[in-house]
Amino acid sequence: MTYAIDDQEAVFRLLTQARAVLFDFDGPVCDLFGGVSTAGVAKEVKRKALRYWGTLDRDVEECDDSHGILRRLRDMYDRSPKRRRRRPLVLAERIVARQERTAIETAEQTPDIVTLVDLLLEVPMRLVIVSNNAERPIRKYLKRSKLRGKIKKVFGRDPRNAGLMKPDPDCVHRALAHLSLDSAACVLIGDQLTDLKAAQSAGTLFIGFTQDRSRAEEMLQCGADAVVTSYAPVIKACRERLAAGGTSGKPLSHATR
């Protein structure tokens, strides 16, 4: 069944089946970078890598995004016919994690996220973070925010292998192992197509969260179970579920999504 953007019926249907919600961090929980380009960070990473490797593949040279450079640098390392030093990968992770630690100091809370989290806990739902950001900055943000103590577990990128960032489902699989729940009983809320791909690979339900109309439509075309432009439909669905007094039903099968 195909739903429209901001379809509260679709969201309610998902929440009645779910027992846990997996939030992406940057976007669904806060605006980490506030629209500021991360090209400077990518440039610093490339400069460090050049010192050790001498040359960079074209896709690495052309990348001007902090997460993109982590993944492309790792890909270059993995596909190299000769053995390369790992030092640039270690330095790249440190540089990007440092940027994220700085960014959380000014990160703005996503509108209505606290209200939503409080309602989800009341349902009750188990809540975790699954993110391509480093874990320590996320934990620091949660500790200093109004979400303190409400989202207890964070599954960020593997600092040893950036190739496991979403769309690879690694962080989602780690979250599912922690929750000890069937993947079909979990909903991932994410703002990127990489989040959707990770959710599909792991077998979880997916709610897209974006104000970009073209991305929202693409998410639906690619199989998102629901897409919202704000948390208003999710909050309403939570309140409807609480009013109904129901508990989680059977997980949705792939055939009924």
Query: 141 and 218 share a domain?
Result: yes
Query: 80 and 118 share a domain?
Result: no
The single residue listed with the structure tokens 């439909």 is: 233
Query: 20 and 42 share a domain?
Result: no
Q: Is residue 229 part of a domain?
A: yes
Q: Is residue 209 part of a domain?
A: yes
57, 86, 104 - which closes a domain: 104
Query: 100 and 114 share a domain?
Result: no
49, 80, 104 - which closes a domain: 104
Residue 256 scores a pLDDT above 90: no
Specify the pLDDT at position 197: 98
Query: 63 and 138 share a domain?
Result: no
Residue 253 scores a pLDDT above 70: no
Q: Residue 238's Cα: distance from chain center in Å?
A: 21
Query: 95 and 164 share a domain?
Result: no
Q: How many domains does the chain have?
A: 2
Lowest-confidence pick of 3-17, 93-107, 133-147, 191-205: 3-17
Q: Per-residue confidence at 35, pLDDT binned at 50, 70, 90?
A: confident
76, 104, 132 - which closes a domain: 104
Query: 18 and 69 share a domain?
Result: no
Percentage of the residues of the chain whose pLDDT score is greater than 90: 91
Q: What is the CATH number of the domain that holds 137?
A: 3.40.50.1000
Specify the pLDDT at position 82: 85
pLDDT (mean) for 131-156 = 97
Query: 54 and 72 share a domain?
Result: yes
Rounded CA-CA distance 8/227 in Å is 10
Q: Is residue 193 part of a domain?
A: yes
pLDDT (mean) for 76-83 = 92
Residue 23 scores a pLDDT above 80: yes
pTM exceeds 0.85: yes
Rounded CA-CA distance 146/143 in Å is 8
pLDDT (mean) for 231-252 = 79
Q: Is residue 141 part of a domain?
A: yes
Q: Is residue 161 part of a domain?
A: yes
The single residue listed with the structure tokens 């790792």 is: 74
Q: Per-residue confidence at 2, pLDDT binned at 50, 70, 90?
A: low
Q: Is residue 132 part of a domain?
A: yes
Q: Is residue 14 part of a domain?
A: yes
Mean pLDDT of the chain: 94
For 68, the domain range is 38-104
| Closest listed residue to residue 186, CA positions, set 235, 242, 125, 141 | 125
Query: 68 and 192 share a domain?
Result: no
Query: 23 and 83 share a domain?
Result: no
